[in-house]
Amino acid sequence: MRLLSLSTIIILALAILLIRIAPVSATVLVYDHGFAKGIEYAPRNGNVIPINKTSVFTQDDLRVYAYVTVALYNASFTWQWFDPSGQLYLNRTNFVQCQASPCTFVFYSFFVAGRPAAARAGTWRLDLLADGYRLYSDYFSILPVLTQDNYWNFGITQSAPPIVHGNLTVTIHPNNQTWQYYSIFLPGAVNITATDLATNSPLQVTTFVNSSRIIVDFGKAQSNGYMFVINFYMLYALDDLGGYGSGNFAFTWQEYSWQRSNDYHTIPEKFTISLPPNSTFVDIVGSNVLSLSPQVSGGGAPVVSFDSPASTTHRFGWTVFYHDYTYRNSHPSPTSSSNGGLALISNLPIPILPLTLGSAGLWTAVMSVFLLTASELLSPIYSKTGVLINRKRLRIAALVLVSIFIITTAYQIFASQALVSK
């Protein structure tokens, strides 16, 4: 009897120990799990019933309901949502009990439409933990909804002074809705007009100077596939690097999330930048984007085109660097022109003599120095030289050569300045 009691105590102790160290997944039996677009409640027992079960959602779906059907007594559930990049987006914990198994539990708080989650299109992952132990991982996808696409075209007709014309072709796809107007922010844009692409008729444009916002009024409600063009000229977008004379230029474009009216829908964009004739494309650098993958075409007037890889909720921009020496070549500097004129005058030949003005000036300067030096050395002070020569005539000859040098030099300076003024 004592042996039986001792064995019973040992068995109970082992059972308690095993219960304490056993993982909770052994006490939670999962029957079903997944996602749905809606839920209903059973009228009799109040249980949850998933409606429209699916693993594919769009940016316009209001919610993603995650459900799980399990047999358990009670547990602490932790729902972890990871976005397509693998980053933890949402983490929530709630305590659940099941009086009559199996029970279905639903996570209620994951919103999509109009929320930041809508901008993170791709494959998501959900991990469900019970008392800290993971029960399973499940996957669903959020597909982008195309509401519009933009085609930007910038033409740099002149680098210095800068003249940049731009136009934006917009195609709207309002998902079975209608649009009466279109709003966009265009910082630095002037002379803004808009036209209907099908009829080429003008559209009314309202410009808010303080906010750089413009509104294009369509005149009447437009449905899917409506296209129009916004024309404008850009200010402050083209910069000279080192002055106009250097021939180095940079054209910059920036887009911010607030310019899109907080729209979480995907907006495909394509950019085309036409550089001036006789320019040379150097490089393109993107901001807040890893790679632009541009295509460069054209010989005398390069054309750069690429698609935008940025999300609508992030800042996006790019800068095109290029060489354009048109302004420098058509505006030679005064210093170089003056020196060139002086060199041209100096090389003019003197009639009859095989000399130029420059060589004649140099010859008279050297000879005058020799003659003046000789006249001083032949002075009576140096009586031991023993040379008999008229020092007065020698001095006169040296002064004549000095005069010729001064006249020749003055003529070269005057003629070169007259040539530059022409």
Residue 100 sits in a domain of what CATH number? 2.60.40.1930
Instruction: Indicate whether 301 belongs to any domain.
Output: yes
Burial of 154 (C-beta count, 10 Å sphere; 0-12/13-18/19+) = buried
Using DSSP, state whether 164 is helix, strand or coil: strand
The mean pLDDT value for 335-351 works out to 52
Could you tell me the pLDDT band of residue 338, with boundaries at 50, 70 and 90?
Answer: very low
Same domain, 44 and 91: yes
Whether 394 has a pLDDT exceeding 70, the answer reads: no
Same domain, 263 and 397: no
The residue from 330, 364, 386 where one domain ends is 330
Query: 406, 405, 408, 401: which is closest to 368 by C-alpha?
Result: 401
Cα separation of 269 and 152, whole Å? 7
Contact present, 126 and 40 (Cβ < 8 Å) = no
Residues 383, 384, 388, 392, CA torsion sign: negative
Burial of 416 (C-beta count, 10 Å sphere; 0-12/13-18/19+) = buried
The residue from 276, 299, 330 where one domain ends is 330
Query: 324, 250, 316: which is closest to 283 by C-alpha?
Result: 250
Cα separation of 255 and 291, whole Å? 16
Instruction: Indicate whether 102 belongs to any domain.
Output: yes
Same domain, 127 and 240: no
CA end-to-end span of the chain: 132
Q: What is the pLDDT of residues 26-85, one digit of tens each?
A: 488 999 999 999 988 876 656 788 999 999 999 889 999 999 999 998 999 999 999 999
Burial of 358 (C-beta count, 10 Å sphere; 0-12/13-18/19+) = middle
Burial of 354 (C-beta count, 10 Å sphere; 0-12/13-18/19+) = exposed
The mean pLDDT value for 399-421 works out to 66
Same domain, 272 and 136: no
Same domain, 171 and 309: yes
- Number of C-beta neighbours around residue 119 at 10 A: 20
Query: 82, 37, 79: which is closest to 60 by C-alpha?
Result: 37
Cα separation of 331 and 324, whole Å? 13
Instruction: Indicate whether 101 belongs to any domain.
Output: yes
Q: What is the pLDDT of residues 95-106, one digit of tens each?
A: 998 888 888 889
Q: What is the length of the chain? A: 422
Of 11-20, 241-250, 377-386, the range with the highest mean pLDDT is 241-250
Cα separation of 197 and 183, whole Å? 17
Split into its structural domains, the chain has a count of 3
Same domain, 73 and 28: yes
Instruction: Indicate whether 9 belongs to any domain.
Output: no
* Between residues 140 and 406, the one the model is more confident about: 140
In sequence order, what are the beta bridge partners of 127?
80, 137
Same domain, 136 and 152: no
Same domain, 98 and 174: no
* pLDDT at residue 108, rounded to an integer: 77
Hunting for tokens 């917009």 — which residue is that? 170
Whether 421 has a pLDDT exceeding 70, the answer reads: no
> What separation in angstroms does the CA of 178 have from each of 3, 202, 275, 394?
86, 20, 38, 105
Instruction: Indicate whether 362 belongs to any domain.
Output: yes
The residue from 143, 159, 189 where one domain ends is 143
Q: What is the pLDDT of residues 191-228, one digit of tens each?
A: 999 999 999 999 999 999 888 899 999 999 888 889 99
Domain span holding position 385: 334-421
Whether 12 has a pLDDT exceeding 60, the answer reads: no
What is the phi/psi pair of residue 21, to 5°? -95, -10
* Between residues 391 and 323, the one the model is more confident about: 323
Same domain, 232 and 246: yes
* pLDDT at residue 20, rounded to an integer: 41
Same domain, 127 and 163: no
Q: Which tokens sit at 251?
A: 């054209």
Burial of 184 (C-beta count, 10 Å sphere; 0-12/13-18/19+) = middle
Query: 260, 17, 284, 26: which is closest to 150 by C-alpha?
Result: 260
Q: What is the CATH number of the domain that holds 320?
A: 2.60.40.1730
